[in-house]
Amino acid sequence: MKNVLITGAEGGIGRALCKEYMKAGYRVIASDRNPNNGVDCDTFLQFDLSIFTRDEKYKEDTIQRIIETLQGNGLSVLINNAAIQILNATENVTIDDWRTTLDTNLIAPFILIQSLLHELERAKGNVLNIASVHATNTKPGFITYATSKTALVGLTRALAVDLGARIRVNALAPAATATPMLLAGFEGKPELFKQLSHMHPLGRIATPEEVARVALFLTSDAASFITGAVISVDGGISGRLHDPV
């Protein structure tokens, strides 16, 4: 039985990842800081990654819970999907904004990889970090988020080199995705949503399921010679200039 651990499972992409891996026959271990609210999984572990990075006892207890859940079968796939997005103009960004963002979006993924490395090697497993289009193309207000995702891409490449043949490490960089949170932000603003959609060369934003299907491929044996890669799932928007036509 292949085990997959998916963090941030309560989010739109997290839920889609859980469903996709369940369909593919994985034993899905989902985690989130919030209680389980209908996530499709075999086991749900509630823990807060911001506490996980700062409290050694909490971290050790969490890792032990994860290892016990693996039941001696190792970890085939670790998906670092959980993230926090704090929006602020430069003059309003606080040290706490930086610490909270980097703890969840960068440091927690590294600690999980480091702490579960033996379990990943046992199962000949691999890691997928969910980055963002903001790692390369961003917009005002996304200072801490964009920086954290840029760093996560750097971490992906560095770990792929450092770990070599031990485990593969890759990243996905989605653009706008039709998660409940994004759609709620455009409620009552159909023209703005239409504008966002048409900014993508494909003429629409992604569905969470499309992101999850690429994730499943990258973590499968079909992608066995891919490591250190950052795959854009962005409908072509990263390659487009937005000058007036």
Q: Could you list the active site residues?
A: 145
Tell me how far apart the alpha carbons of residues 234 and 202 are, in angstroms, rounded to a whole number: 9
> Residue 167: what are its φ and ψ, rounded to 5°?
-145, 150
Tell me how far apart the alpha carbons of residues 61 and 86 are, in angstroms, rounded to a whole number: 28
Instruction: List, as one string, the DSSP characters of 212-240.
Output: HHHHHHHTSGGGTT--S-EEEESTTGGG-
The residue type of 43 is: T
The residue type of 235 is: G
Residue 128 pairs in a beta bridge with: 79, 170
- Taking the alpha carbons at both ends of the chain, their separation in whole angstroms is 53
Determine which helix (DSSP H) or strand (DSSP E) holds 160, and give its type and residue range.
helix 143-163
Residue 200 gets which letter from DSSP?
Answer: S
Tell me how far apart the alpha carbons of residues 221 and 214 are, in angstroms, rounded to a whole number: 13
